[in-house]
Amino acid sequence: MPTPEEAAFTNDPSVFMEASIIRVMCAKAVAGQYNFRLEQQNVPSARKNRKGARINYYTLTQNDVGEVPMWFLPYAANDVREFTLPVIGADLMVTVQLNGCTFGYAQSGANAGCYVTHHNAARQGNSPDAIEGQHIHNPFADPFEYFHQDRYRKRRWGKLDTNYFATIVGKRDAHNHWRFYAQKKKQVYNHLAGDAQDLWTLKGVVAVNP
């Protein structure tokens, strides 16, 4: 049985992400439906904003006995990964954290599915031109849209701040329409880079598509 936190996340991920930082952890190399578990982590320095109180930090970890089924879209360096979400199966979709990458989508106008992509062009600085030059296989006649890094990273002195990241979560409604949300967050300190602790600041949640 899902935990109360998992039930709340499943019911409305955008509301859940307004109050808690989420990071997706999945090593699967093939897109598909997998089970996940929402696990609270001991990151007491995570907070909502620079003046805000401490908030929870969760990892959404792929686990075969997890209680949250979701569609997962993997990542590949300097390449694109793609998947067409079917009209059956899980009502949630995630991909790994965006750290300069681009998320893309084409929603079937007839609500007959949704095509999603995860783009990386690190060798070209993840520039929109390089990413939009990658070959994709959109099965729908509906327009394809990109969610580039300038949608979730702050620009400072003419350059994008690479300390900003985004978590993408999709939710399918009763009409088979997918809505995607991006949780924006900034990593202020990183223990892997030699800092004494991790410090994440939640910068809000935005709707990727109508």
- Structural domain containing residue 120: 4-207
Q: How many domains does the chain have?
A: 1
DSSP secondary structure letter of residue 44? T
Q: In sequence order, what are the beta bridge partners of 54?
A: 47
Q: Is 50 exposed, middle or buried (0-12, 13-18, 19+ CB in 10 A)?
A: exposed
CB count within 10 Å of CB 167 equals 23
Sequential pLDDT tens for the chain (210 residues): 899 999 999 999 999 999 999 999 999 999 999 999 999 988 767 788 767 778 899 999 999 999 999 999 999 999 999 999 999 999 999 999 999 999 999 998 877 899 999 999 999 999 999 999 999 999 999 999 999 999 999 999 889 999 999 999 999 999 999 999 999 999 887 665 665 567 889 999 999 997
pTM above 0.85, yes or no: yes
Q: Using alpha carbons only, how large is the chain's radius of gyration in Å?
A: 17
Q: Which of 88, 142, 99, 147 is nearest to 122 (CA)?
A: 99
Cα separation, 166 vs 62, in Å, equals: 18
Q: Which of 36, 31, 89 is nearest to 64 (CA)?
A: 36
Q: What is the DSSP string of 100-122?
A: S-EEEEEE-TTSS-EEEEEE--G
Cα separation, 137 vs 152, in Å, equals: 25
